[in-house]
Chain A
Amino acid sequence: MSTLEHKLTKTSETVFTAEFHTLDGNGLEKAKKYADRFRGWFDGVNATDNTAAHAHVSNVASAIAMKQLGLEPILQVVCRDKNRLAQQADIMGASMFGVENFLALTGDDVTAGDETEARRVFDLDGPQLVRLMSTIKRGEYMSGRKIDPAPHMFIGAVENPGAPPFEYRVQRVAKKYASGAKFLQLQICYHQDRLEKFCAGVRDAGLAGKIAIIPTIILVKGASALNFMHNSVPGIDVPADQIARVEKAADPCEEAYLQTLEFAQHALAQPSVRGLHITDFRNDETLERLMTDLGRVRQSITSEVKENHAYSA
């Protein structure tokens, strides 16, 4: 059982997950550098799958590297680039290397990326992919062909509490839970009222304690990143007063940090919330500062644990 699954299903501890950096040239060296920053802070780290429709080192290769480097990977699988056959192959391939956490996403469209001429696949959609993961977990491929032994899987999904239709988003959570999702990472939401309603809705739907809600917060250096998200990332709306707050501050960098901390504390106080997912766009010492301010103590990795994690390093 993965640490993430153990904490979410057997304890009431708050969990922290993070987005791993994308890898390109000299990927393994960079992965080592990033792993040194992340190790000991997080219960799971997302091995991303061509984020924002840009090609990078694959999700499966990143997840294996993370295992070797002492991080616990969460394998993201998106529906944009691969059909159901390839998705099953990726899940089984990662599982062969000991990956146990899986995250099903619909995925950004190819138009969000830098190769907009590419064919979009979307053979399955997000909820169907969750169900497919449950099928593999049960010991069968989609076709019904047996997998013996069945891989150990802890399945999660994603939802956006900040995009319309707001009142329908909770029903999608119920659908994903019914399909087998046990945790749900949320997309960043800069409208606190929307997050509050969403989390209360999950509770009112009787899903609290059944599916762990993990809102995202993002560490940014200033207003330009907020403006970028507001203007260029569909599904993310940053209220003008939040942007102005950072823009007009005497020290925008510090204000951006304080804003992130406030959002983190607010998110953790919501019903059904079991932890936070952190995306670090700052790449500086504030990651450590944030974790400390949130009361997290960095776990030391013993040599024994390192050995267990090191597949072949």
Chain B
Amino acid sequence: MTTATSLSGAELPSGPPGPNHHSARRRARFRRGVTGWLFIAPAALMYAAFVLRPLLTTIWYSFYNWDGISVGTWVGVDNYRFVLTDPQLLSSIGHAFFLIIFFAGVPVIGGLIVAALLQEIKIRGLGTATRTLLFLPQIIPGAAAAVAWVWMYATNGTVNQLLSAVGLESVTRAWLGDFDWALVAVGIIGSWLGLGFCTILLIAGIGKIAPEVYEAARLDGATFFTTFRYVTVPGLRAEIGVCVTVTIIAALASFDIVFMSTQGGPGYATTVPGVQIYQLGFTESRVGLASALAVVLTALILAVVLPIQRLFRET
């Protein structure tokens, strides 16, 4: 559609009339193609060299048994069979899916509620204050967020202090060292990181919904919840789609937070594929297996994210 306009445009200054018209047009188009490719080439080469090539190499490694030093041996799909049957690796994939509740579910639902409340409660300065404070976790490195939360969850940290203050001493514990609670505790760090991102995105989305719709709903006597259900949520379809996609990828591919807060422990209670790939690949020298897990993780992310994108794009 756009080629037609740009073609005729390109010809305006350069297309000489006469018998050579046709070949000149072809030459112009060819030259334009070459020029265009010269513009694209540097970016494409960097992407090919440092993303596509290693991606293909990951797939290649995944069929080998290789320690990173000696000569590898071809093992076919054995690495994949191991990934899909080893209880420890399977549980790490399970953990990643469990984390979706905290990395995606809590921030999206919480973000929707906060954004809707801000639309309702118009106190000067409140919006800016909320935005600044909620956004802060989003800009510090995930690794640093983990350090902050390790201290929050420590035996004499703030979480236990607050629990004791409300008379819940009996439930205090070293949260990240607790087999039953460590994964939930890690998940809450993810909620903390994602909440600001989702809220801000959703606030921006609400700004695009016509104020008259809210006014009409109010005149009809709609409660906060009715307005939320029938105006806010449907109006934010696209933004919710973005939030869900970004946060689910963050959950499935989590590394920084888990690595810095628990290293996968206690035992294997909080291992996730990201940490496993790092440990298998760089501390246990099982390069083939690490690569197979990386391929499985990538495939899972694509399998989850692509349908979601379709779901939220179609209206």
Q: Do A and B bind each other?
A: no
